[in-house]
Amino acid sequence: MSIENLIPLQGEEDSAHMMGRVHSTDSFGTVDGPGTRYVVFLQGCMYRCKYCHNRDTWDLDEGQIWTVEDLVQEIIPFHPFMEVSDGGVTVTGGEPLLQQHFVYRLFKSLHHLGFHTCLDTNGYVRKYDELLDALLRYTDLVMLDIKQINNEKHKDLVGVSNEYALKFAQYLAEENIRTWIRYVVVPGYSDDLEDAKEMASFVARLGNVEKVELLPYHELGVNKWEVMGEVYPLEGVKPPPKETIQAIANEFLKAGISVTGPA
């Protein structure tokens, strides 16, 4: 496989050399979409999630500079493993939609080579235009994180309004794009059953969501905060009990939404 013979879109003669800021990669991801996946963590995020386990991805000016061509050539050898498991490539972050040009050109190249593409995003979109439409045209699956349906609680948890995520969710529905919703259950912040019920009602109205993934809060990111010399905002908060996860799952199930979560 090679991207050398791909026919560029008009005005994209040098698209293979488009550069992006990459934090890191994982060649055998198993929790970032269907099957075995090559996961690209892009640098930069506007959210300030109190439980972020990728704290070192926030800075917009950090990360390694990669070209689309170099990244695709890095990914190509793993194609056989992805084919066997119906996997593919997931771009996450940080927040990948802060680098839309790079993701668009990457996904376009990967599509021509037969890779399944997945966008893992918090929906932070400030502009809806042809570039976003083009990016989504080469996106097979969107995994959208909705942190909280209650806007004030959302701002408290991540420092940003939920208006961006909810608008993006509605846009995906209008375009009938295959979507999974990811919902992190954080004790004291996103484990209220009334909030879960409202979230379930919102998701049920969209019509394009295949399932909701319930992700219990964990403490695996604490060390990164400490390494950066920062105080972890949720110190002392423990993962939610299984009973809480099940109760929240029941709210989605009652709304007719498929739910997956921890085993």
d(CA 243, CA 33): 25
pLDDT score at 11: 47
- Cβ neighbourhood burial of 174 (10 Å; 0-12, 13-18, 19+): exposed
pLDDT score at 262: 64
Structure confidence by residue, pLDDT tens digits, 70-87: 999 999 999 998 989 999
Domains of the chain plus CATH, in order, are 19-260 (3.20.20.70)
- Cβ neighbourhood burial of 11 (10 Å; 0-12, 13-18, 19+): exposed
pLDDT at 32 over 80: yes
pLDDT score at 15: 62
Structure tokens at 26: 């994982």
pLDDT at 5 over 50: no
Strand partners for 25: 40
Write down the mean pLDDT value for the chain. Answer: 92
pLDDT at 250 over 50: yes
pLDDT score at 14: 56
Amino acid making up residue 30: T
Arithmetic mean of pLDDT, 4-30: 69
Sign of CA dihedral 17, 20, 24, 29: negative
pLDDT score at 7: 36
Structure confidence by residue, pLDDT tens digits, 190-208: 999 999 999 999 999 999 9
pLDDT at 6 over 50: no
pTM, rounded to two decimals? 0.92
**pLDDT band at 29, cuts 50/70/90?**
confident
